[in-house]
């Protein structure tokens, strides 16, 4: 049957068993972030458009061409969030969280929206889990954050990804670098693509990020920010790397990473894989020491990251497909009276944490057992007229057909039998 409706382009459903990988990622994130002292914040999906244009930058790809912006019925310009950092900063300022003792460390998760050209690993609605730490400019926290990401990725089952770091300086040293880069690009502007010619005017550092072969070649010998860092930024970066070493976070410096959002200062990083084709970044982030102030808050530094759920889920999906949960038992009730007797059994066993399925139609016993077997149930419990009269339930272990009877109200024995794995 050909379906009449499909999800819009770039939007997707996550169905079992894929959703298992997502749950696993969620569990690892919550567990790991909790151990590092991060608490959850839930932010809205929609914000005032200005929050993004002022923070991500007017001349970035996201703000220029990727935002889902609309007017509400009162004529206000709203935008479906393309990322979570700016909303988190807005939330941080709005609730006066800076008045609490530093640092304030939070995580968030949920869908983000960017009108990008969909392809493998790139969607118009995609999920991020992110974390932000406010109030500390010591690079120790940047390194600790990467150590937290490393622990999280280990938990997920991804021990061998590439960790790349860089520093893009601060308001003091970056202008000199940008000038040098401008001069370099200008001297060979004809070799750059149209996008880069535009970036030359609006966002020069993004030229280094362009994947078009001609541009990569043209900027091959471009000046690098590391040669322009002021003493403070140099020290910050070196100390960050020393801490990474101390924490055992293996990494390399990639002086060409610049990131696609304007709010970064000093530390930036990307974690990539070779298994996903061109959309290879699974985690990315960095420091943003001016953003809270730029959005109207006090001068509070920040550092954070976000990970792409779809990309991580894709990397582990093969490992998860055999992990679909199976019922511990399947209760087969042969008629309405039996069902009435079975209700209490199912309720009690579920309360004790067992995954308990039951039948919703009264087919023959053999059909029901086949169904239970197909669902992967380890045990079937059968309740019919005879069992109700005798106050018992018959059980059968499907792996070896071991059978027996238990009193209908003897829930302890039921749990013992089911938990008694196989013997
Ligand atoms: P970002 O690099 O734009 O940074 O996104 C972070 C991650 O989200 C990417 O590395 C990628 O895994 C995933 N991602 C981005 N766009 C898409 C897409 N269209 N489809 C699928 N996955 C995608 C940020 O968003 C910053 N807010 C990170 C941050 C937090 N920096 C400081 N704090």
CA 10/CA 82 separation, integer angstroms:
14
Q: Percent of the chain having pLDDT more than 90?
A: 88
Report pLDDT for 124. Answer: 98
Over the chain, what is the mean pLDDT? 95
Q: What is the pLDDT of residue 418?
A: 92
Indicate the pLDDT class of residue 247, thresholds 50, 70 and 90. Answer: very high
- pLDDT, residue 276, reads 87
Ligand 1: which of 29, 126, 152, 262 to mutate, judged by most atoms within 8 Å of the beta carbon?
Answer: 126
Instruction: For residue 147, give the 3-state DSSP assignment.
Output: helix
Residue 120's pLDDT is 93
pLDDT at 308 (0 to 100): 98
Q: Are 306 and 286 in contact (CB under 8 A)?
A: no
Cα 133–Cα 46–Cα 297 angle in degrees, nearest 5? 40
φ/ψ (deg, to 5) at 287: -95, 145
59 has pLDDT over 90:
no
CA of 55 to the centre of ligand 1 (A): 15
pLDDT the model gives residue 22: 96
Ligand 1 center to residue 283 CA distance, Å?
A: 7
Q: pLDDT grade, residue 194 (50/70/90)?
A: very high
Band the pLDDT of 423: cuts 50, 70, 90: very low
Res 32: pLDDT: 98
Residue 295 predicted with pLDDT over 70: yes
Q: How confident is the model at residue 62 (pLDDT cuts 50, 70, 90)?
A: very high
Q: Which of 28-32, 258-262, 372-376 has the lowest mean pLDDT?
A: 258-262
Ligand 1 geometric centre to CA of 285 (Å)? 8
pLDDT at 422 over 70: no
Same fold, 3-173+229-320 and 326-418: no
Quote the ligand 1 centre to 67 CA distance (angstroms): 14
Q: Take atom 23 of ligand 1 and give the residue whose Cα is closest.
A: 308
Q: Is the dihedral of CA 223, 228, 234, 236 positive or negative?
A: negative
**pLDDT digit string (tens) for 328-365?**
999 999 999 999 999 999 999 999 999 999 999 999 99
**Distance, CA 366 to ligand 1 centroid (Å)?**
52
Write the pLDDT tens digit of every residue in 88-99: 999 999 999 999
Give the pLDDT of residue 209: 85
Q: How far is the CA of 315 from the centre of ligand 1 (A)?
A: 16
Q: Return the CATH number of the domain spanning residue range 3-173+229-320.
A: 3.30.930.10
Q: Relative to the CA of 271, which ligand 1 atom is closest?
A: 10
List Cβ neighbours of 194 (8 Å cut-off, separation of 6 or more).
none
Nearest-atom number in ligand 1 for the CA of 285 is 31
Q: What is the pLDDT of residue 102?
A: 85
Of the options 3.40.50.11610, 3.40.50.800, 2.70.70.10, 2.60.40.290, the CATH number for the domain spanning 326-418? 3.40.50.800
Of ligand 1's listed atoms, the one at least distance from the Cα of 305 is 30
pLDDT per residue as tens digits for the range 203-240: 899 899 888 999 999 999 999 999 999 999 999 999 99
Ligand 1 center–CA 414 separation, angstroms: 49
Centre a 10 Å sphere on the Cβ of residue 161 and count the other Cβ atoms it contains.
Answer: 19
Q: Name every protein residue with a CB atom under 6 angstroms from any ligand 1 atom.
A: 83-85, 114, 116, 121-123, 126, 128, 130, 132, 260-261, 281-286, 304-308, 310-311
> What residue segments make up the domains of the chain, in order of their start?
3-173+229-320, 326-418
């Amino acid at each position: 049957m050909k379906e009449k409706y499909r999800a819009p382009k770039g939007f997707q459903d996550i169905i079992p068993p894929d959703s298992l990988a997502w749950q696993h990622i969620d569990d690892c994130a919550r567990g790991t972030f909790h151990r590092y002292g991060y608490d959850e914040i839930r932010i809205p999906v929609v914000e005032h458009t200005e929050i993004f244009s002022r923070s991500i930058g007017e001349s970035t790809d996201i703000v220029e061409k990727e935002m889902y912006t609309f007017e509400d019925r009162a004529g206000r310009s709203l935008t479906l969030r393309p990322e979570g950092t700016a909303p988190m900063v807005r939330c941080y300022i709005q609730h006066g969280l800076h008045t609490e003792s530093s640092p304030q460390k939070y995580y968030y998760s949920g869908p983000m929206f960017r009108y990008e050209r969909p392809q493998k690993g790139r969607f118009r609605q995609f999920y991020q889990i992110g974390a932000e730490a406010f109030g500390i400019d010591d690079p120790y926290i940047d390194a600790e954050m990467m150590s937290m990401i490393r622990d999280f990725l280990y938990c997920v089952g991804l021990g061998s990804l590439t960790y790349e770091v860089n520093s893009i300086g601060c308001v003091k040293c970056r202008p000199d670098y940008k000038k040098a880069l401008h001069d370099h690009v200008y001297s060979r502007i004809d070799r750059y693509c149209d996008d880069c010619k535009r970036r030359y005017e609006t966002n020069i550092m993004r030229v280094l990020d362009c994947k078009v072969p001609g541009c990569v070649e043209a900027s091959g010998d471009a000046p690098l920010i590391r040669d322009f860092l002021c003493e403070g930024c140099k020290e910050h970066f070196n100390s960050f790397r020393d801490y990474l070493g101390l924490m055992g976070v293996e990494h390399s410096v990639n002086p060409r990473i610049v990131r696609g959002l304007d709010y970064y200062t000093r530390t930036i990083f990307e974690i990539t894989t070779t298994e996903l084709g061109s959309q290879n970044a699974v985690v990315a982030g960095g420091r943003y020491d001016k953003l809270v102030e730029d959005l109207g808050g006090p001068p509070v530094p920040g550092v954070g990251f976000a990970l792409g759920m779809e990309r991580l889920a894709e990397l582990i999906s093969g490992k998860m497909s055999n992990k679909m949960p199976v019922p511990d038992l399947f209760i087969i009730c042969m008629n309405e009276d039996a069902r009435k007797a079975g209700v209490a059994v199912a309720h009690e066993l579920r309360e004790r944490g067992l995954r308990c399925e039951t039948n919703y139609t009264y087919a023959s016993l053999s059909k029901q057992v086949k169904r239970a077997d197909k669902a992967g149930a380890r045990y079937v419990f059968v309740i019919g007229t005879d069992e109700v009269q005798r106050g018992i339930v018959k059980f059968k272990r499907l792996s070896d057909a071991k059978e027996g009877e238990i009193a209908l109200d003897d829930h302890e024995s039921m749990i013992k039998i089911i938990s008694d794995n196989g013997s």
